[in-house]
Amino acid sequence: MHMKKLLVIAAVFGLAACAQPQEECNLPENVMITGTNPIISNQFAADPTARVFNGKLYVFPSHDIPSVITHHDGSAWFSMADYHVFSSEDLTTWTDHGVIVTQEDVPWGRPDAYSMWAPDCVEKDGKYYFYFPNASKTGGFAVGVAIADNPEGPYEILPEPIKGINGIDPCVLQASDGNAYIFWGNGRCAKLKDNMIELAEDNPKQVMKWGDREFEMVGVSCLQGLPSRQAEGPFAFEYNGNYYLTYPYVRENTEVIGYAMSKNPMGPYEYKGIIMAEHENGCWTNHHSIVNYKGQWYFFYHHNAYSPHFDKNRSAQIEKLYFNEDGTIQEIKPTKRGVGPVKASHKVQIDRYSTINGADIDYLDTTDYFKGWKTIFDNAGDAVCFNELDFGKKAPKKVTFRYMAGPGAVVEVKAGDAVCEFELPDAREWAEVSFDMPAKVKGLQDLSVKLVNDSNAEIDWVTFR
Ligand code: FUB
């Protein structure tokens, strides 16, 4: 294809007051437009369990807050007092439906434990069963159930936790054999009764020893003999006649997500490998779920993107997941770009790039990481590329940058066949500037933004209208 090159130093159109489109200016407080990673930007959202209900994607994460309790060694620790539920139809616009369960309202739980770890939610016969771990008044962790008529709630918390489960991180598998199985902790699994709130009578039982104490545990340990050091957060699902037990465990120093396969929900499972390796920045935990939405498989997981110095304040992210022909799962690398469609008319966060060449990324405000990031261009040639940006059917007439720049900074914007250059006015504080678009760009295009000359610029976002 012949590339049309428009090397125009476009005239400044004017400093814009509110450059973002109406839908972004007037967003209700509980609605976020992201499309990139992390997906939830109004709070921390760890351990994201994704489920599809009524054609909509729901995410049930745990809700990290800055540490208010300490670990036994005195260090800052996971602190979670309640659960929110989020939903999206396009994986870009996320609605926070608010708090569905809070620690003060759990009759059997310690109201000040801040221990509402990873939850799950499944539907049966029009009822939504929300499974959550919590510190119990009688010691240790237990798993409770709250029931609702809608995924968003209101949920009614059952007075007692599930008898026979001592542990964290419940996940429920509704298998094609007609049974529901609950997995928890380090890969233990038991069958649920039809009522979804009790363990079945015919579950196997194991006598375990803890020092000189003996006690009976219900169900089976599906990860016994498999790589599973410090395993937690099991997520089980069924696809194409195979059961998958996916779980975080410590391979060297921090968690990876591994998986095992079986022909039976309760195993035995055969270890198959890694789905996601350790986080490069040392974030100790990862916790995930896997869901098919509108024909595409997705991997939800977490990272501490909004809390670089405290890895117990985590945020949910999404990547696409692919199977090999033999049913094994291809390894996934975390990205900043994520999976959501992004419109060119939105504030395009180019710091959530697909590829980067020379440019640097940094936080906009280290006193409030939720404000997000900026892209720093220091040398001629520094560039980022943001894949799959939707310019729509009508070519935008203007491009707007939120930026800072030294004198004479020229940036090249490349999208589809169009290559345009813009000289950013000198600005030492954040400013917005709009230019006429000298080229017509439509449809889905990869966008690249490059500093052309030896100057410097920082860009918060770009938008095309
Ligand atoms: O969120 C608290 C705990 O950290 C979860 O329950 C684990 O899976 C780990 O992500």
Domains and CATH numbers, the chain: 4-19+341-464 (2.60.120.260), 36-321 (2.115.10.20)
Residue nearest to atom 3 of ligand 1 (CA): 117
Mean pLDDT for 69-74 is: 93
User: How far is the C-alpha of 272 from the C-alpha of 455, rounded, in Å?
Assistant: 50
101-131 per-position pLDDT tens digit: 999 999 999 999 999 999 999 999 999 999 9
Say whether pLDDT at 10 is over 50.
no
User: How far is the C-alpha of 151 from the C-alpha of 100, rounded, in Å?
Assistant: 10
299-311 per-position pLDDT tens digit: 999 999 999 999 9
Residue 30 in contact with residue 39, Cβ under 8 Å? no
Q: Which residues pair with 192 in a beta bridge?
A: 199
Residue nearest to atom 2 of ligand 1 (CA): 117
Q: Which amino acid is at 326?
A: D
Maximal C-alpha separation, the chain: 81
The alpha carbon torsion through 31, 461, 336, 319 (nearest 10 deg) reads: 50
Read off the pTM: 0.95
Site to substitute for ligand 1 among 43, 44, 62, most atoms within 8 A of C-beta = 62
Site to substitute for ligand 1 among 64, 77, 78, most atoms within 8 A of C-beta = 78
Residue nearest to atom 7 of ligand 1 (CA): 233
| Residue 5: strand, helix, or coil | strand
User: How far is the C-alpha of 279 from the C-alpha of 301, rounded, in Å?
Assistant: 11
- Residue 20's pLDDT is 56
Tally the residues of the chain.
465
Q: Which residues pair with 220 in a beta bridge?
A: 189
Number of H helices, E strands in the chain: 1, 35
Nearest in space to 102 (alpha carbons), one of 53, 140, 62, 142: 62
Say how many C-beta atoms besides its own lie within 10 A of residue 213's C-beta: 7
Q: For the chain, give the mean pLDDT.
A: 94
366-383 per-position pLDDT tens digit: 999 999 999 999 999 999
Q: Which of 82, 152, 232, 432 is catalytic?
A: 232
Band of the pLDDT at 38, cuts 50, 70, 90? very high
413-424 per-position pLDDT tens digit: 999 999 999 999
Band of the pLDDT at 22, cuts 50, 70, 90? low
Residue 232 annotated to the active site: yes
Q: Which residues line ligand 1 (CB under 6 A)?
A: 46-47, 62, 78, 117-118, 168-169, 232-233, 285, 287
Nearest in space to 80 (alpha carbons), one of 184, 150, 168, 183: 168
Token pair for residue 272?
Answer: 């198959």
Residue nearest to atom 1 of ligand 1 (CA): 117
User: How far is the C-alpha of 336 from the C-alpha of 349, rounded, in Å?
Assistant: 10
